[in-house]
Structure 1
Amino acid sequence: MVRGKHPITHDVYSRGEGKLLVLIQELPGIGQETLALADQFVNRGYKVILPHLFGPLGKTSVLGNTVRILCMRKEFKIFSTQQSSPIVDWLKTLCRKVKDDHQVKGVAVIGMCLTGNFAISLMADEAVLASYSSQPSLPVFKQKSLHLSDTEVEKIKTRLDEFGPMHCARFAKDPLCRASKFDSYERTFNEDKERIVFHTLPGKGHSIVTLDFVDEAGHPTKKVLDEVMDYFDRSLNT
């Protein structure tokens, strides 16, 4: 897929049929755990759209992908505050294309870790009806700052007022997504009403629905995923 006057291209994969979910990879890549997450949604009646933004397919590569991201500064502004990364514009274009191609009201979105913030940003777009931000970690080294512009914040608030609160989760002892990060989102979005439902899971894990996911009834990660799935079902069935 290509965007803008200066083309940025990324492959886009899909699997399944049904309601539409754009699943944005996290820093480790589109590994087996991410594919397993996609399959859970496929089994629930979703078509999962997987944009391949960086890294090898089918396996994880944290160090290698960190180097790749640092070299992709035109798309990922991982240290920036008060603005989203340019890749968000490409992802908006993708969501709109998926919506139009399938002639539906809109799509759901999941972003994780490096891309967790993007799931919040995308809620500003008319093509996105529901969103889950898992352990949002940007901007790097600035836990009390937001990777969002003031204009984006107002658009997101307006759409959440219309469609209901989105979901966001972190582990309590996650050093990459600390309590101060959630505090900043709480002050920004929930000052007068609940626009984001926050989940704080016990422990020191990081990747809630992939690398640290435990597919056992009653486990905190399973509870969060089940709640997000129910939320997506309600939002996309309206």
Structure 2
Amino acid sequence: MNKPIQIDQYEKNSFTAPVRGGHQVTHDVYSRGSGKLLVLIQELPGIGQETLALADRFVARGYKVFLPHLFGAIGTTNMPANFVRVMCMQKEFNLFASGRSSPVVDWLKALCQKVKEEHGAKGVATIGMCLTGNFAIALMADEAVLASFASQPAVPLVLQRRLQLSEEEIAVIKERLDRLGPMHCGRFAGDILCRNSKMKALDRTFNTDDKKRIILHTLPGMGHSILTLDFVDEAGHPTARALAEVMDYFDESLAE
């Protein structure tokens, strides 16, 4: 693919919404394209060239992509610096806690609702990656969200056998997935940040009662970022196949 469209070619808006604890949170949201609606949530390295390239692929597919800018620089990646930033944003992010989603999920739910209502759409799709991978699962509790892909969900960090979801959230998500059909989640087999124990936790939590509510994908290799930093745009490559499957799933879920 050619050099991705840069962020200055996107429409920029500011969005404010409350999160639990009574805090008001404001972030910029960048958007580009037209058609079906996708909220693409950045991963820890930032909104770098690889994330912009992913947005380009969806725009070319007939999507309007919304990129919330939650932390870090745009156009480049810097995982160590962004980790420090997120650690200082404890009103929004809980990297190590389990049993509840991060407060910023409330802001993202409000954003998804706003996007859906403003465009008069059936609903939106979401992608979360790395530390925001769990957000894509939590957002399935919201009626505005019709499809989600959780790519290498890494939080809670350290406690890979546990989930960053409350029992109430899990119950609502299971009910919605029973109505909508399964969502998708993926990781590389050798990923040390999103381990197999995370997939097992998701499987035993959601795929109960003989129902497959989350389709779990394990790609070969030692990578981490399925759709961005470790994505290989070659026909037949496991990451390219994973993206194609996600796009087909979104297309079907958002069809009017």
State the match for 2:161 in structure 1.
144
Amino acid at match of 2:153: P
State the match for 2:226 in structure 1.
208
1:210-230 superposed Cα distances (whole Å, 9 cap, x missing partner)? 000000011000000000000
State the match for 1:46 in structure 2.
63
Structural mapping, 1:56-71, within 5 Å:
56-71=73-88
State the match for 1:195 in structure 2.
213
Amino acid at match of 2:150: S
TM-score for both structures, normalised by structure 1? 0.99
State the match for 1:169 in structure 2.
186
Structural mapping, 1:1-238, within 5 Å:
1-4=15-18, 6-192=23-209, 193-238=211-256
SS of corresponding position for 2:23: coil
Q: Distance in 2 between matches of 1:46 and 1:98?
A: 13
Q: What's the Cα RMSD here?
A: 0.7
1:27-52 superposed Cα distances (whole Å, 9 cap, x missing partner)? 00000000000000000000000000
Q: Distance in 1 between matches of 2:175 and 2:208?
A: 14
* Runs of 5+ unmatched residues, structure 1: none
Deviation of 1:3 (Å): 1.3
Deviation of 1:145 (Å): 0.5
SS of corresponding position for 1:7: strand
Amino acid at match of 1:81: S
Q: Distance in 2 between matches of 1:195 and 1:72?
A: 32
Q: Distance in 2 between matches of 1:79 and 1:135?
A: 16
Q: Distance in 2 between matches of 1:19 and 1:105?
A: 9
Identity %: 68
Deviation of 1:191 (Å): 1.7
Q: Distance in 1 between matches of 2:24 and 2:220?
A: 43
Deviation of 1:6 (Å): 3.1
Deviation of 1:105 (Å): 1.3
Q: Distance in 1 between matches of 2:94 and 2:160?
A: 15
SS of corresponding position for 2:229: coil
Deviation of 1:7 (Å): 2.1
Q: Distance in 2 between matches of 1:2 and 1:109?
A: 19
* Runs of 5+ unmatched residues, structure 2: 1-14
SS of corresponding position for 1:132: strand
Amino acid at match of 2:89: M
Amino acid at match of 1:77: N
Q: Distance in 1 between matches of 2:23 and 2:51?
A: 30
Which segments of structure 1 move beyond 6 Å, counting only runs of 4 or more? none
TM-score for both structures, normalised by structure 2? 0.92
Q: Distance in 1 between matches of 2:37 and 2:76?
A: 24
Amino acid at match of 1:57: I
